[in-house]
Amino acid sequence: MTETTLVKAVNLALARAMTEDEHVIVLGEDVGKDGGVFRATDGLFARFGADRVRDTPLSEAVIGGISVGLALAGFRPVAEIQFSGFIYPLIDQIANHASRFRTRTQGHKTCPVVVRAPNGGGIHALEHHSESPEAMFAHIPGLRVIVPSSPRRAYGLLLAALRGPDPVVYLEPTRLYRAAHEEMEDDGKDLPVDRCFVLREGTDVTLVAWGAMVVEALKAASQWEAKGTSTEVIDVATLKPFDAETVINSVKKTGRCVIVQEAPLTGGFGGEIAARVAEGAFSSLLAPIVRVAGFDTVMPLPKLENLYLPDAARIGVALDRVLAYA
Amino acid sequence: MSTFNLPDLGEGLQDAEIVAWHVGEGDHVVADAPLVSVETEKAVVEVPSPRSGYIKRLLAATHDRVKVGAPIVEFEDEAHADTGTVVGDLAAKPPVSAPPPPTPAVAGPPPKASRTRTLASPAIRALAHERGIDLTGIAGTGPGGTITHADLDRAAAGPERATEPAAGPIVLTGIRRTMAINMAKAHAEVVPATLWDEADIGLWWTGHGDITVRLVRAIVVARAAVPILNSLYDGQAMALRTLEQVDLGIAVDFEGGLIVPVVRDAARWDATSLRAEIDRLKTSARARTVAPADLRDPTMTLSNYGMLAGRQAALVVVPPQVAIVGAGRIYQQAIPGAGTVAFTHVLPMSITFDHRVATGGEAGRFLRAMIDDLQQYN
């Protein structure tokens, strides 16, 4: 067991998959000699060579197109986009091609592209460097959308993505790259990519989050435990396909549900979760389903960033609100 | 789109409380059919629909107080039913529904159970359903009046608790509120004094007889003898107006409180028609449909409190009236004779008067005149 950061866990999973399967190819801007903008591909170039760790031109559309082509030719491309805010030129390749091959070929062929990108704010970055576009991808049929929140889950979920047959958008919470660290083993074990993870069991309220917001949710749960509130914390981890059952069963137990998302409120994935809970746990609901989210504005620059990002304090306000319904 | 505003119900009333809707949203209503019942300070008044048409929205909920002239109903515009263009025109409450009519006797659409204004979370509703508890009428103590689990438990514990809000006292409304205001005013203003006596009614009372009709007649007779007790007194101006016509308020007790309809010109009725008039007033008072005109300006009041219990009572004079006559429970009395004892029935009576205006002598003469009349066979 070694103390491992989230970015190191990503690196370990990539190396493990490349060792297991020579068809795994890493490509992206500065992923080669430089080891990637956050060093997620650090050492891979030296270890697996220029054929399997490819620096690309500064063109996300090209990275997407090459990846789709490689996947159809039998490779397992892992594309790194430097920030999820740069991912938009590649969406055409994802939405119109990668996600459709299973259907287009009547199940004969899939397109196992894995697109990785740092996601979300909290690192005082420039414009386009702190976006949270996961809901856009969750809306596309035929994709898996994964957002890890800890080194172990980052490792296990990425391995599953690299071993599975499906196109995957894998969004890594940038602010947790080095902030999140835990003891873990590079044991090659993957985690299911169709499940939510119950990180903490509770009976009074269900707190649902993903990515960096999981850390805030756990923080709030600990603080409210001191006030006598028993909070169940669920890490969604895989947004698509969404494991509604785990969340619904939890809310059936607690009667209350607070959802935390860093993305702007409107049209966010939290709305989808709220709808599923309302449908599936209606008669158990003691309180309105409450979302804690970013605001419906462009992600602010560093000066105002902390005002935008949901944190344990804002989650606490929501907890108090739903707990008032006894 | 057209809206219907709460009409002026007369009496200078400023507002009224919605007691029951007789229509629901989406219902068709014909002109003059009952639309809504509202409780003014004095009575429950049924407001008819001003027109035929479909109800688009109810703009006030049961128990809301609505100002006269405020919109209460929005009608569907039948000429062009495109409602999309007008939604949001009115700064109104969210749509509310028609609760069940207050009594089965009132004609109206069937109650729509799913559209009540009861506030409860789905979980509490499910629990109530499971336990067979009706949430209607349970006072919620949760956010915004939402019914909580504890409220449900309290409701299940006992029917009394179910209707009483656990959070605190209720604010008086309607008739009881009016009574509270009037009584406090009376207490602050009037200087009351009471005389008690009794009338031997053994000549005509055989265990039954129309006491009230006889009392009204006796009051009319006594007024002729002592006019000043049939007066209206303005304490501030110290202005006294003594009236010839007795407009006699009859105190009617019912479960909703006290209401005092008026027998207009008590002298003009014979026994039969007086009984019919009293019955009419009592029935409409208890049904809370009494017309404002039947409640207006009594010059004196009669309280036949002995119907229930009580031989003597000092009553409350409600200004600007000057006197109130009370009649207690009839009882049998032994009268000592020459070596024997006779039995008779006596009617205990009282007159409470405002001593600012009338003297004890005047009250005594008035009561004496009443007794003399009541003791006659016919």
CA distance B4 to B70: 8
CA distance B304 to B309: 10
Mean pLDDT of chain A: 97
pLDDT value for A55: 97
Handedness of CA B18, B22, B27, B32 (dihedral sign): negative
Helix residue spans in B92-173 (DSSP H):
122-131, 149-157, 159-163
The pLDDT tens digits of the residues spanning A276-297 come to: 999 999 999 999 999 999 999 9
Q: Is the pLDDT of residue B85 over 50?
A: no
What Å distances lie between residue A113 and A81, A266, B21, CA to CA?
A: 13, 29, 63
Active site residue A129: yes
How far B110 CA lies from chain A's nearest CA (Å)?
A: 26
Q: Do A286 and B149 touch (CB under 8 A)?
A: yes
pLDDT value for B102: 43
Per-residue tokens: B75: 């009608």
Q: Render the burial of A121-145: b for 16+ CB within 10 Å, e for the rest.
A: bbbebeeebbbbbbbbbbebebbbb
CATH 3.30.559.10 range(s) for chain B read 176-374
CA distance A314 to A318: 7
B80 — pLDDT class (breaks 50, 70, 90)? very low
Fold of domain B176-374: Chloramphenicol Acetyltransferase (3.30.559)
B79 — pLDDT class (breaks 50, 70, 90)? low
User: Coil, strand, or helix at residue A77?
Assistant: strand
CB proximity B173 to A under 8 Å: no
Lowest mean pLDDT among A98-107, B40-49, B89-98: B89-98
Q: Do A325 and B150 touch (CB under 8 A)?
A: no
Measured between CA atoms, the residue of chain B closest to residue A256 is: B123
CA distance B74 to A194: 51
How far A272 CA lies from chain B's nearest CA (Å)?
A: 19
Q: Is the pLDDT of residue B311 over 60?
A: yes
Chain A residues with at least one Cβ partner in B under 8 Å: 255, 282-287, 321, 324-326
CATH code linked to domain B118-170: 4.10.320.10
The pLDDT tens digits of the residues spanning A3-40 come to: 999 999 999 999 999 999 999 999 999 999 999 999 99
* 3-state class percentages of chain B: helix first, strand second, coil last, to nearest 5: 30, 25, 45
Measured between beta carbons, the chain A residues lying within 8 angstroms of B124 are: 286
CA distance B234 to B239: 5
pLDDT value for B57: 87
Per-residue tokens: A32: 């080669």
Lowest mean pLDDT among A150-154, B34-38, B288-292, B317-321: B288-292
CATH 4.10.320.10 range(s) for chain B read 118-170
Per-residue tokens: A17: 């998959």
Q: Do A326 and B122 touch (CB under 8 A)?
A: no
CB proximity B143 to A under 8 Å: yes
CATH 3.40.50.970 range(s) for chain A read 2-184
Q: Is the pLDDT of residue B343 over 70?
A: yes
CA distance B112 to B188: 47
How many residues does the structure list for chain B? 378
Check A23, A124, A129, A181 and give the catalytic one: A129
B292 — pLDDT class (breaks 50, 70, 90)? confident
The pLDDT tens digits of the residues spanning B153-178 come to: 888 876 554 454 556 778 787 778 88
Q: Is the pLDDT of residue A108 over 80?
A: yes
CA distance B264 to B249: 9
Q: Measured in whole angstroms, how far is the alpha carbon of residue B2 from the centre of its chain? A: 33
Q: Is the pLDDT of residue A170 over 60?
A: yes
Task: Centre a 10 Å sphere on the Cβ of residue A49 and count the other Cβ atoms it contains.
Answer: 10
Q: Do B148 and A255 touch (CB under 8 A)?
A: no
Q: Please, what CATH class does the domain formed by A197-323 belong to?
A: alpha beta
B82 — pLDDT class (breaks 50, 70, 90)? very low
> pLDDT: is B55 or B106 the higher one?
B55
Instruction: Report which of A226, A223, A243, A224 is spatially closest to residue A234, judged by C-alpha positions.
Output: A243
> pLDDT: is B113 or B294 the higher one?
B294
What is the rounded average pLDDT of the residues A310-323? 96
CATH 3.40.50.920 range(s) for chain A read 197-323
- CB contact set of A148 (below 8 Å; sequence gap of 6+): A6, A154, A157, A158, A170, A172, A173, A211, A237
Task: Please state, for a pLDDT cut of 90, what percent of chain B lies above it.
Answer: 35
The beta strands (E) that lie in A154-289 are given as: 168-173, 181-184, 197-200, 205-209, 231-235, 238-240, 257-264
Per-residue tokens: B5: 């505003």
pLDDT value for B274: 94
* Whole-structure pTM value: 0.56
Fold of domain B2-112: OB fold (Dihydrolipoamide Acetyltransferase, E2P) (2.40.50)
Lowest mean pLDDT among A153-157, A181-185, B6-10, B188-192: B6-10
Measured between beta carbons, the chain B residues lying within 8 angstroms of A287 are: 121
Q: Is the pLDDT of residue B106 over 50?
A: no
Measured between CA atoms, the residue of chain B closest to residue A252 is: B123
- CB contact set of A174 (below 8 Å; sequence gap of 6+): A38, A83, A118, A119, A120, A121, A122, A123, A125, A130, A212
**H or E, element range at B15:** strand B15-21
Q: Which amino acid would we find at residue B214? A: R
CB of B297 within 8 A of CB of B262? yes
Select the residue from A206, A251, A253, A325 to test the B interface by mutation, using most B Cβ atoms within 10 A. Answer: A325
Q: Do A326 and B150 touch (CB under 8 A)?
A: yes
pLDDT value for A203: 96
Judging by beta carbons within 10 Å of its beta carbon (0-12, 13-18, 19+), is residue B137 exposed, middle or buried?
exposed
A246 — pLDDT class (breaks 50, 70, 90)? very high
pLDDT value for A86: 96
- CB contact set of B311 (below 8 Å; sequence gap of 6+): B328, B329, B331, B348
Task: Centre a 10 Å sphere on the Cβ of residue A228 and count the other Cβ atoms it contains.
Answer: 8
B88 — pLDDT class (breaks 50, 70, 90)? very low
CATH homologous superfamily of A2-184:
Thiamin diphosphate (ThDP)-binding fold, Pyr/PP domains (3.40.50.970)
What is the rounded average pLDDT of the residues B15-29? 85
